[in-house]
């Protein structure tokens, strides 16, 4: 296994050019910059319509140095399968294929092609950056939008359903590697993508990527919001490797401390949750306490 990276040992070469079309404070742009360093230059990225297509721009003025295929919304995993087949028929080896899609493109419209590819065991890394909404088209709710969040199509009561657990769905496919990470923890993100690269078969990585305009906070707080998501237990960092679940990084530390930050600190920082009443917040806290109570029980010394 590669040695643990530090901020000083990350590859120096930038594969995202300085200057791109993402909003300031975009969690995706941090994740993409670090993620491409982990994937390396010998990678073909497959991207559906999303903020990432906007961030990248179009050849010949694209903001990244990677060969990137822009495909239709539902077809990321199917197109990545096609790229693998093309590489095989050309006899090209040593090239990583990565699908990189938003949560709408993953949890909703692209889920069937992803499920099919995972069931076949296609040898690619599928990365979902989860900004918890269809942000590129103006903040609509997606399958992974959390309960209570106001969006342009849940404008009065907020979303009334729970966030879809896509990593759990992918884990049910019994693929060799599933991991969650967050753009606020670049080394965690880097390590997990680098690890996935060395594993054969379908790998799934879910990245929480805070989004200032969609979530309603000052762009300077992108890292703070991401860290609070983890420290409150709202979003957990873990790996499921060969069906074995383990909390990692900052979530692992919470397990050791046995103490979470109150979730109200996370929710109150974001305008999208302004419609939540105290009882709604208490309900979110209860659900977190239940899940984390089970972790404390499961992993006690
Ligand atoms: C079949 C189809 N339906 C709708 C669209 C319009 N569309 C383009 S990007 C997008 C939102 C993508 O949301 P997500 O995958 O969550 O990525 P984000 O924009 O949040 O980065 C939509 C609905 C499309 N391109 N194709
Ligand atoms: S809308 Fe959100 S995800 Fe999209 S570019 Fe802006 S900050 Fe990034």
Give residue 28 CA to ligand 2 midpoint distance, Å: 7
pTM value? Answer: 0.98
How confident is residue 269, by pLDDT bands cut at 50, 70 and 90? very high
pLDDT of residue 3: 73
Question: What is the distance, to the nearest Å, from the Cα of residue 146 to the centroid of all Cα atoms in its chain?
Answer: 14
pLDDT of residue 62: 85
Percent of the chain with pLDDT over 70: 99
C-alpha span between 61 and 205 (Å, rounded): 28
Kindly tell me if the per-residue pLDDT of 282 is higher than 70: yes
Retrieve residue 87's tokens: 């590489």
Mean pLDDT across the chain: 96
Give residue 120 CA to ligand 1 midpoint distance, Å: 26
pLDDT of residue 2: 58
Is any atom of ligand 2 closer than 6 Å to the C-beta of 104?
no
Residue 164 DSSP symbol? P
Across 46-60, 82-96, 188-202, least confident range: 46-60
Kindly tell me if the per-residue pLDDT of 109 is higher than 80: yes
> Where does 27-298 sit in CATH, by number?
3.40.50.970
Percent of the chain with pLDDT over 90: 92
Mean pLDDT of 256-266: 96
Q: Which ligand 1 atom sits nearest the alpha carbon of residue 136? A: 19
Is any atom of ligand 1 closer than 6 Å to the C-beta of 105?
yes
Kindly tell me if the per-residue pLDDT of 219 is higher than 60: yes
Is any atom of ligand 1 closer than 6 Å to the C-beta of 137?
yes
Q: State how far the alpha carbon of 289 is from the alpha carbons of 126, 144, 154, 247, 299, in Å.
A: 30, 20, 26, 16, 15
* Backbone Cα Rg of the chain: 18
Domain boundaries, the chain: 27-298
How confident is residue 122, by pLDDT bands cut at 50, 70 and 90? very high
Is any atom of ligand 2 closer than 6 Å to the C-beta of 211?
yes
pLDDT per residue as tens digits for the range 142-198 = 999 999 999 999 999 999 999 999 999 999 999 999 999 999 999 999 999 999 999
pLDDT of residue 126: 99
Q: Nearest C-alpha to atom 5 of ligand 2 is from which residue? A: 22
Is any atom of ligand 1 closer than 6 Å to the C-beta of 134?
yes
**Cβ 138 vs Cβ 152: under 8 Å:** yes
Residue 257 DSSP symbol? H
Is any atom of ligand 2 closer than 6 Å to the C-beta of 212?
yes
pLDDT of residue 19: 83
């Amino acid at each position: 296994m590669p040695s643990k990276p530090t901020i000083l040992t990350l590859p120096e070469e930038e594969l995202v050019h300085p200057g791109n079309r993402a909003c300031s404070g975009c969690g995706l742009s941090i994740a993409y910059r670090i993620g491409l360093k982990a994937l390396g230059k010998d990678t073909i990225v497959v991207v559906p319509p999303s903020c990432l297509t906007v961030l990248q721009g179009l050849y010949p003025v694209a903001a990244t140095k990677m060969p990137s295929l822009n495909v239709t919304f539902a077809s990321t995993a199917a197109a990545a399968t096609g790229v693998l087949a093309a590489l095989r028929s050309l006899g090209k080896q040593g090239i990583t294929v990565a699908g990189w899609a938003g949560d709408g493109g993953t949890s909703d419209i692209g889920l069937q092609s992803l499920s099919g590819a995972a069931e076949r065991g296609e040898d690619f890394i599928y990365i979902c950056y989860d900004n918890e909404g269809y942000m590129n088209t103006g903040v609509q709710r997606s399958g992974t939008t959390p309960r209570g969040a106001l969006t342009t199509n849940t404008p009065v009561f907020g979303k009334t359903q729970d966030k879809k657990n896509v990593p759990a769905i992918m884990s049910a496919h019994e693929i060799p590697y599933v991991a969650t990470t967050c753009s606020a923890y670049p080394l965690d993100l880097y390590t997990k993508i680098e690890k996935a690269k060395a594993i054969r078969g379908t790998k799934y990585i879910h990245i929480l990527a805070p989004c200032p305009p969609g979530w309603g906070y000052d762009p300077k707080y992108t890292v703070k919001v991401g860290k609070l998501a983890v420290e409150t237990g709202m979003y957990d960092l873990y790996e499921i490797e060969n069906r074995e679940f383990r909390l990692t990084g900052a979530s692992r530390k919470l397990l050791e401390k046995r103490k979470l930050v109150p979730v109200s600190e996370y929710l109150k920082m974001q305008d999208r949750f302004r419609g939540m009443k105290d009882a709604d917040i208490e309900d979110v806290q209860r659900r977190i306490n239940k899940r984390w109570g089970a972790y404390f029980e499961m992993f006690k010394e």
